Structure 1
Amino acid sequence: MNLLWRPMVDSDIPGWAVLLAAAERVDQQGEHYSEADLREEWADPDIDPERDSIAVLDGSTLVAYAILDKRVTPEGKYRLPSQSVVHPDWRGRGIGAQLVQWITERAGELHRENRPDLPGEVSISCGERNSALRELLDSAGFVPQRWFFELKRSTEPDPDVADQALPEGLRLIPYDARYDEALRLAHNEAFLDHWGTTQVDPEGWKHWHTGDSWFRPAVSYLVLDGEEVAGYLLSKEFEADAAATGIREVWYTAIGVRRAWRGNRLASALLLRALADSRDAGFTRAALSVDADNPTGALGIYQRCGFRLDARQSVHARVLSVTD
């Protein structure tokens, strides 16, 4: 194979969209991307495209790629999550194994260059239907470390789910941009004990949470105790999914309750309000993702609110040492 391996560049984005669409037809992970979606992802301030991405091309056709991210977690670990996809027509030719090798070697370089003082770990996610990738990761020394569940339900009322009132003194309001910085800080506190999360800075908060084109403030909410943010729910809509499936689906992408207010069923109250308003806004289905081992018991909360398992994804990790 006479393939070109080089860093990804802006002009690869149209081919990236074509590649992901072809992969989705086979892998069926329920993920669809427009070129506009990918341009927004590509603007991630934490990614250095020249050094932390690789494109594999047959002439001018993108047949595979990989991207590495990097973050320091609250427990003091240097984590390098990655994404990589090989076009279905090019699978079985060793490209996937070479991508995993590139990811591992580049992750080792980043660990040595940036935070050799911290334990290092590189990770790759795998959809439950992708058995070939799981076998490849096993052979490359990656160990299954975490499972994430995608849960879904109709936005129509569920007779088995009771309404949830807030404790006295708390009020639930629609998202208000005046609280955005307080919300960012509340999010950082709420997710401090969640696996693999990092403290989100103002730039990252705007890019990935309340400033991107997918954010839907009309079906996002805050729970306030006086003027303090006690809990919140943020919603997004991925229009490329609706275009592909014909289903208008709302994703509840961030649901958090600060420690001092846990145990008051704020998450349930937020979800039930969001479901009712999402239905009125024209969404027919709601979805969210949860760490199966979430320490706050989130999985049980979501199930009690009528959400049911739709898909699973595993995260496979490999420990890095400064000699890698």
Structure 2
Amino acid sequence: MELVWRALTTADIPAVTALWAAAEAADDTGELLSEEDVAESFAKADLPAGSLAVLVDDVLAAHGLVMLRDNPAGTHRVRLDGVVHPRFRRNGIGRQLMQRLVAMARDLHSARHRAMPLVVTTMVESGCSGHVALCERLGFAADRHFHELEVALGESLAQLPTPAGYEVVPFSAARHEEVRQVCNTAFAQHWGSVDRSPAEWAASFTDSKRFVPETSFLALADGAVIGFVLARHYPAVFETTGVRELWIGDVGTLADHRGRGVASALLSRTLARAREQGYHRAGLSVDTANPTSALGVYERAGFGVARTWADYGLPVEPA
């Protein structure tokens, strides 16, 4: 078949959304995206220099994005996102797409962070054997594994008290900069984490239609933020499955306040509020090697493993 390669544009958002839907119907990875979700990811990418549309007879057969971070530290881990329509798989398109995305990532990295080591990465759901095989053939290795956890928001949810000396309060937009700084500090030692710039923070939370402040909470000690639960909602999940899911994007506590039940109290408050607001389920992702014992906190809250993802990485020499 004859392939046409070009950069994506915002005019491709409906076709990319339909492509994700077709892939999800075949792969069952839980990646349910609306046009607004795709538009949000497009806004974070350099479309002219860091995206690809693959066309067969004017039909979108595959697409890819190169996703850079604003403030890389140590090693620049550049994420590659993309998918091939099930109808066009096993024709070598995925291999060519990945190779071209790697080259684009190398060029973008060399222009911005040439002195820093580069690793290109892609997230792979464990059940996608074809994606796993492709990554391994291209030399990628699984650097880290993440569990996607879920809990049903039924009447059996435990209500945990706030530890003495702390206060749990609703998220306030007036504290967004303080929360950003606390979030960066709390995750500073986490694998693969980098500081979120004000622009990245705004795109993910304060300016995002997916952020749900009503089910997001802060923990205070002596009036200062020391912990947080920040939640998001993706309407496409409900529209596709009938399940209204609250996605807990970030849970963190400053190191000096860990091990005291702060995170558990925050999580308990978020789940209770989500149930009050009509959510059926809550979900989140956790690093299986998280050094803060976060997995245990989530398991005690009733979360169970729904899927496992691997972060595949490939070191790349600068251009």
TM-score normalized with structure 2 length: 0.96
- Aligned mate of 2:88, from 82, 87, 90: 90
- Deviation at residue 74 of structure 1 after TM alignment: 6.5
**Counterpart check, 1:213 vs 2:201:** no
Matching residue of 2:241: 245
Q: Are the equivalent residues in 1 in contact too, given 2:64–2:97 (CA < 8 A)? A: yes
Deviations 1:204-256 (CA, angstroms, capped at 9, x unpaired): 11111232111111111001112311100011111110010011111111111
Matching residue of 2:60: 62
| Superposition map of 1:159-198 within 5 A | 161=158, 163-198=159-194
Q: Are the equivalent residues in 1 in contact too, given 2:78–2:105 (CA < 8 A)? A: yes
**Counterpart check, 1:142 vs 2:140:** yes
- Deviation at residue 71 of structure 1 after TM alignment: 2.7
- Deviation at residue 125 of structure 1 after TM alignment: 1.1
TM-score normalized with structure 1 length: 0.94
Separation in 2, partners of 1:284, 1:275: 10
Matching residue of 1:104: 102
Secondary structure of the corresponding residue to residue 297 of structure 2: helix
Separation in 2, partners of 1:42, 1:139: 28
Separation in 2, partners of 1:313, 1:157: 30
- Aligned mate of 2:277, from 259, 281, 284: 281
Secondary structure of the corresponding residue to residue 190 of structure 2: coil
Matching residue of 1:15: 15
- Aligned mate of 2:196, from 185, 200, 205: 200
Secondary structure of the corresponding residue to residue 129 of structure 1: coil
Q: Are the equivalent residues in 1 in contact too, given 2:140–2:314 (CA < 8 A)? A: yes
Separation in 2, partners of 1:64, 1:154: 34
Find runs of 4+ consecutive structure 1 residues off by over 3 angstroms. Answer: 72-75
Separation in 1, partners of 2:211, 2:112: 32
Coordinate RMSD, CA, aligned: 1.5
Unmatched segments (≥5 aa) in structure 1: none
Separation in 1, partners of 2:65, 2:103: 13
**Counterpart check, 1:312 vs 2:308:** yes
Separation in 1, partners of 2:312, 2:208: 28
Q: Are the equivalent residues in 1 in contact too, given 2:2–2:56 (CA < 8 A)? A: yes
- Deviation at residue 145 of structure 1 after TM alignment: 0.8
Percent of residue pairs identical: 35
The answer to which of 99-108 and 263-272 deviates more is 99-108
Matching residue of 1:81: 79
Q: Are the equivalent residues in 2 in contact too, given 1:72–1:78 (CA < 8 A)? A: no
How many residues align structurally?
319
Matching residue of 1:41: 41
The answer to which of 16-25 and 72-81 deviates more is 72-81
Separation in 2, partners of 1:10, 1:117: 32
- Aligned mate of 1:126, from 115, 124, 127: 124
Q: Are the equivalent residues in 2 in contact too, given 1:74–1:192 (CA < 8 A)? A: no
